[in-house]
Structure 1
């Protein structure tokens, strides 16, 4: 049994994570901490867990094996370093932190403590994206020349996100720091080391953070990624396009089409795969199984740091209105 403490209900996914954990037979939620005490007390009551107003007091509890971090992104480093130092396993919502320096501090604490760490990268568990990676690995795309990924919803347009979602100090940014994480970590996973980046961020609803954003990234292998995200888009299915020297993959929603000159006739045109790879276990399951059974956790410290590197540099490019080279 893994005894879990929920660290804040700030993130919009926190409730979903708690409900999912409560559905697992090998997990129990024992405690809650929240930087907003009233919110935390109410949530703890709903979850049937204890509320601890002091984080260090919670981290000393013997009935806490691991923590799920949904605190403001600006607090991630503080919270996770403290959790690691207390010997608690860590599951965190993306982004891992606001800067690579903070990611390095988290990584050092986690590695020193020897605790399990997992970051939520749901797009990397999905069959469509696993298929894209398989095509690259098996040569059906050839050398990737262009990757385009779009991810958006109408949260800012229809005002269903909480007001604090647009607080740059705590959130670290807007659309790109939120939904943009998914195209970012997919591009990193598929294309490797980034070389340079530029950003075009827009403030359609006149909030203090961007609600409509696009980044263009050149990778060391000469592939270019165009990553788009928005909080002001209406009924936009997720889009994924991958073009290469030997093939093209187009994914719009659940529609998957492939064309590759590596396929023999009669498969020389567009085909729809009869079967996609099996979905991987959700990140929360990977974390729990990693703690209980030492099973592999696929989304770790290095992955989280690479995502933050992309995001941090994207915001520098936006603020300074220039193309920025990666170190």
Structure 2
């Protein structure tokens, strides 16, 4: 499906922007700036953990609800045939921004394990390990966090830890700072997140800018980066299903 979208785009000369909300989170944008400035050297590892208490704990506009066996049975979130499960819900966020942090490098092979909750046909917890030429990265999805990150960050905290040859960054969803560790400051420093500048303050503003100027869509919103992220997701789903390590799906 991703390839069909890209083919249609190329055939018609249109602009396609894939919206990942995490791409607008100031801590993650700040982390990418630090990476591009060489502050932590070459990126070697990306660690991602994200999720929520579960998709049925909240409805539209995050209205609190209580999940029940009956609601799970009726919800597409818990239907294998309809693409349910925490892996397909959350993994793309991590693999797409992870690809961005890795400067668009793709892994060589992927291994994924999922829980198999009794009475459910989809996972509520997945761990994906991607082997790159430079090392291993890990992407973990969870329905069942202790709290929802948009109210109170659970432990583990939702977001990213990025390890480079000269330093590390922790970049957590919704935080007002990122934690930077370098050779000069091994004790770590809390840096305030960047204020997002125009035209990258929201997806509509950025899309209008790209259409008006002809500037190509870049970063984790671009089809090229998102395709690599989707390759990792497809590879992880295959690995979990066949219970083996698989080469990156082409």
> TM-score band, normalised by the shorter chain?
0.7 to 0.9
Residue number in structure 1 paired with 2:76: 164
Cα separation, 2, equivalents of 1:234 and 1:128:
22
Partner of 1:278: 196
> CA shift at 1:278, angstroms?
2.3
Q: Could you tell me how far 1:214 is from its partner in structure 2? A: 1.0
Match of 1:174 among 85, 94, 104: 85
Tell me the residue number matched to 2:128: 215
Q: Identify the match of residue 106 of structure 2 among 190, 193, 197.
A: 193
Higher Cα radius of gyration = 1
8 Å contact 2:39–2:166 — kept in the other structure? yes
Q: 1:277 to 1:195 in 2, by over 3 A?
A: farther
SS at the partner of 1:176? helix
Aligned residues: 220
Q: Where does residue 290 of structure 1 map in the other structure?
A: 210
Q: TM-score, normalised by structure 2?
A: 0.77
3-state DSSP class of the match of 1:131?
helix
The yes-or-no answer on 1:132 pairing with 2:31 is yes
Per the normalisation by structure 1, the TM-score is 0.61
CA distance in 1, matches of 2:158, 2:25: 12
Structure 1: any 5+ residue segments left out of the alignment? 1-101
- Are 1:225 and 2:143 counterparts? no
CA shift in 2, pair 1:142/1:294, >3 Å: closer
Partner Cα separation in structure 1 for residue 45 and residue 108 of structure 2: 14
Q: 1:165 to 1:141 in 2, by over 3 A?
A: same
Counterpart check, 1:301 vs 2:223: yes
Measured against aligned partners, the alpha-carbon deviations of 1:256-315 in whole angstroms (never above 9, x if no partner) come to 211111x4xxx4531111453526332233234434554553323223322221111111
Structure 1 counterpart of 2:46: 147
Larger RCO, structure (CA 8 Å, separation 6 or more): 2
d(CA) in 2 for partners of 1:125 and 1:156? 22
Flag structure 2 segments of 5+ consecutive residues without an equivalent.
58-66, 148-153
Going from structure 1 to structure 2, the CA distance change for 1:287 and 1:278 (only over 3 Å counts) comes to closer
How far is 1:189 from its partner?
Answer: 1.1
